[in-house]
Structure 1
Amino acid sequence: GAREALRYMADRRMKGSILNISSVHQQIPRPKNVHYSASKGGMKLLTETLALDYADKGIRVNAIAPGTIATESNEDLEGSRKSAQLKKIPMNEFGDPEQVASAAAWLVSKEAAYVTGATLFVDGGMTLYPSQME
């Protein structure tokens, strides 16, 4: 998707923004899920490299990295599994999809016009390694 957007924008000398969606697992390894962690690590470097390559053309490339968000994919987290997941989050709650959307809207807005190559973690502090707090 980024390749086609960049081609379109570059051909028309358009300035703008590309936003990739990653995960906290670009920074925190996900046990027993090496392919997922590797893909998110790749997304981090894809974002940073494209940001370098296109900054001089006025095209910003950034990423959002959500933590545990209250979506259908996490509905099965109940009881002790939910408690274990919440222990990983300093804010002790799952995020809402609207919070991720708000962060995304800011990153592509004019207010973030001087931000490129960044990953914004929307994770309630999950990447702060709260397991070290015990």
Structure 2
Amino acid sequence: MSETPEPPAAPAGRVVLVTGGNRGIGRAIAEAFVAQGDRVAVTTRSGGAPEGALDVTCDVTDPGAVDAAFATIEAELGPVEVLVANAGITADTLLLRMSEDDWSSVIDTNLTGSFRLAKRATKGMLRLRRGRIIFISSVVGLLGSPGQANYAASKAGLVGMARSLARELGSRSITANVVAPGFVATDMTDVLSDDQKTAIRAQVPLGRYADPAEVAAAVTWLAGDGAAYVTGAVIPVDGGLGMGH
């Protein structure tokens, strides 16, 4: 008499999507989720996902590309359970020199792109009756910064969107939170002069830049069981620069 075959094992970990995950903060976040056994997809415009992650090309300013990316991820891994909206750009210049394109390109990528991602991810989360939405904002969105009116506005907008989604989706066990990094050691800050780096560190009570892994730790905590009752929150990872603003 033959034995009844064992049912196939359920896939390990959750399905996590990290946008802009090919470098810097996004890459550290994707690597942290991979390391804890989650099934991770990374979207970028040019490729380059970390090892162990599904590499999906997507321009978040294109609604069709966002929908196609989700279709690919759902077919390969399953419905997205954790969305980390990290993709962003800068176009810094003083207000009187800021062009319409400087403004609209940053808003469309950082804020409207995050709206597109959250809207598409929520479809699957509502069916699952669970989910985590995490927006990567910036201390600049809370404090402001000369020459960054467009960037600060886009990052501040993420806070209002997250808090609205927290109220809208909470009854379905979907949380929406924001992580607001300060100055982080990435290739974007490596190009600064020594004098600029010294001046920046002088503003930070802890006297140093964050490591990208420290931002990733806040994100994985928000996505984990320990933060199941946290929603509508802004978690600063800024060395005290913003003092909770």
- Indicate whether the TM-score tops 0.5: yes
Q: Please name the residue that 2:212 is paired with.
A: 97
Q: Please name the residue that 1:27 is paired with.
A: 142
* Cα offsets for 1:4-59 (capped at 9, x unmatched): 1112211x142121111111112110111110010011011011111111011110
Asked whether 1:7 is paired with 2:117, we answer no
> Greater helix share, 1 or 2?
1
Counterparts of 1:1-134 in structure 2, within 5 Å, are 1-10=117-126, 12-128=127-243
> What is the one-letter code of the residue matched to 1:124?
G
Shift of 1:77: 2.2
Distance in 2 between residues matched to 1:88 and 1:76, nearest whole Å: 19
TM-score normalized by the length of structure 1: 0.91
Distance in 2 between residues matched to 1:128 and 1:58, nearest whole Å: 29
Larger radius of gyration: 2
- The structure with higher relative contact order (CA 8 Å, sep 6+) is 1
Structure 1 residue runs without a partner (length 5+): 130-134
TM-score normalized by the length of structure 2: 0.51
Size of the aligned set, in residue pairs, is 128
Structure 2 residue runs without a partner (length 5+): 1-116
Deviates more, 1:13-22 or 1:83-92: 13-22
